[in-house]
A and B are shown apart, each in its own frame.
Chain A
Amino acid sequence: MNGLAAHEVTVAYGRQTVLDRASIHIGPGETVGLRGPSGCGKSTLVRVLALLHRPDDGHVSIDGNPVTGARYRVAAAVRTRIGVLFQSPRSAADPRLSLADIIAEPLRATKAERIQDRVVELAYTAGLTTDLLRRQPHAVSDGQLQRACLARALAHRPDYLLCDEATTMLDASTQAHVAAVITDHQHRHGTGVLLITHDPALMHRWAHRVIDWPPDQAAPATAVEHADHH
């Protein structure tokens, strides 16, 4: 089956079981909302799906192919099919790089003379002005850094994009902009999007269907009306 899926994954930190045989499926082109109380394992699930954390049991599959291992044990070609945006961009960006270099990270395969143009184009899409590109993370605001992380995520042209509270540090207008940019990317590339947010209005407006987490204590998944930004 096409899609990004976790199959009965279990993750424990010490004696604490954070995910207990959890499963989820994100199909191409759909936006799946995930909601649940703080600390219920949503972020761990994201790390597992992004192949950043190897589950103690169970596995992740992409388009039906099981993935073994995590991080650098997974082939780059597989890993980069999945983009992630975390809540805090500070821990996700190398503090020594300029914003331009952060955005350019995935573009290594691109011809050198094209990189500059592509970075400017991606920054523009993400709503960053050019004056910010030469600065390092400490000299921009949290929301500006998050937009650089979005530009970097889009540079990969991911087939799946996982957004873990990724717009909470943005004002309402910038949030609407980012949602529109991601939706546009989704329409053009058939990207499957996982959306984690505590904001019911945002969830309702953006997600095609919503899953309550953890699944065992929750009501069955509810479909919400299709949200379209165009």
Chain B
Amino acid sequence: MTAALTIDGLNVRFRLRDATVHAVTDLSLTLHRGELLAVVGESGCGKSVLAHAVLDLLPANAATTGTVQFGAGSRPVRELRGRHIGLIPQSPATALTPVRTGRSLLAETLRVHGRATTDADTVAAEAGLDPADLDRYPFQLSGGMAQRLATALAIAPDPAVLLADEPTAGLDRPLVDHTLDLLRRRCAAGTAVMLITHDLTAAQRVADTVAVMYASRIVEHRPADEFFTAPHHPYAAALLDSLPDRAFQPIPGHPPMLTDLPAGCAFAPRCPHASPDCAAQPAISDGAACHHPLSVVGAP
């Protein structure tokens, strides 16, 4: 397997007037060609910041350490954005240039990347957008149409690595499936896809691997089928249990404050398995960062 994206020891801190936000901590992962990795986790845990850090698109108050490498090369991400690595941003409706039609945005993207502007209709259709809707201005697009336009813009240059941040949010089931099939087809052609999503059903359907984030860290990273059958990390298990077709109960307690994280496991205040050991940061082993992983002999 060839690595398409290697992240090693990534940390992202935001400096605020009176606090520091720990948005990504000690994060390492490798994404291979043809792999679809689903990144899931609590709202606010650092998923979008991770995507922006990989693309070097963070705001000025961010400080980043660690390395991000694409393929075997060492070219800076600035030169690779678009052509080699694409982003479908979260909530694209507000990110689109308001004074230009979808067609004009898409044609420019195609031109810049050496493709015929006449491909616009084909690319739109691949993203599930009716080519006729390309002639609308962003304010005339429904949320779901804006979403599919953003997808079309990201896939137009045919990038080797695709970061998709909630690309199916607000779409109806047939369009969700259309988008998931598109991502899968890209993988079959060798693209490496990082799918950030709250839709665990979608993740289960298409992902090869799953990374669960909690409070800025990856707490579990395993093959998707194994993960969905038996999660090891108590947070991951609690997340799956809170689905509306399961208990539909929120995880007790409060989300952690990323400005004031404990030295040990950040899930401890909400964890039914916490013990004094958990005051020390657990290292990741067998795909989970936990002192008392579930589904292991002897554990509850």
Hey, which bits of chain A sit against chain B, CB under 8 A?
13, 36-39, 43, 87-91, 127, 129-131, 135, 138-144, 146-147, 165, 168-177, 179-180, 198-202, 204-206, 229
On whether the beta carbons of A176 and B142 are closer than 8 Å, the reply is no
On whether the beta carbons of A205 and B245 are closer than 8 Å, the reply is yes
Q: How far is the CA of A138 from the CA of B95 in the complex (A)?
A: 12
On whether the beta carbons of A87 and B245 are closer than 8 Å, the reply is no
On whether the beta carbons of B169 and A201 are closer than 8 Å, the reply is no
Chain B interface residue number, banded: 35 or more
Q: How far is the CA of A139 from the CA of B18 in the complex (A)?
A: 14
Q: Contacts A38-B144, A174-B250 given: A141-B172 contact, CB under 8 Å?
A: no
Q: Contacts A140-B44, A173-B251, A177-B250 given: A168-B170 contact, CB under 8 Å?
A: yes
Instruction: Look across to chain A and name the residue whose beta carbon is closest to the beta carbon of B240.
Output: A172
Return the contact of A176 from the options B21, B91, B175, B250 (Cβ within 8 A): B250
Q: Contacts A88-B94, A140-B44 given: A165-B143 contact, CB under 8 Å?
A: yes
Return the contact of A174 from the options B14, B42, B173, B176 (Cβ within 8 A): B42
Return the contact of A141 from the options B48, B173, B174 (Cβ within 8 A): B48
Q: Contacts A131-B19, A201-B245, A205-B248 given: A171-B170 contact, CB under 8 Å?
A: no
List which B195-247 residues lie within 8 A (CB) of chain A: 198, 200, 238-240, 242-245, 247
Q: Is B3 at the interface (CB under 8 A from chain A)?
A: no
Q: How far is the CA of A229 from the CA of B247 in the complex (A)?
A: 10
Q: Is B171 at the interface (CB under 8 A from chain A)?
A: yes
Return the contact of B242 from the options A13, A38, A173 (Cβ within 8 A): A173
Return the contact of A171 from the options B90, B176, B239, B256 (Cβ within 8 A): B239
Q: Is B40 at the interface (CB under 8 A from chain A)?
A: yes
Return the contact of B175 from the options A38, A170, A206 (Cβ within 8 A): A38
On whether the beta carbons of A87 and B169 are closer than 8 Å, the reply is yes
Q: Is B282 at the interface (CB under 8 A from chain A)?
A: no
Q: Give the chain B neighbours of A175 by CB distance below 8 A.
A: 198, 242, 244
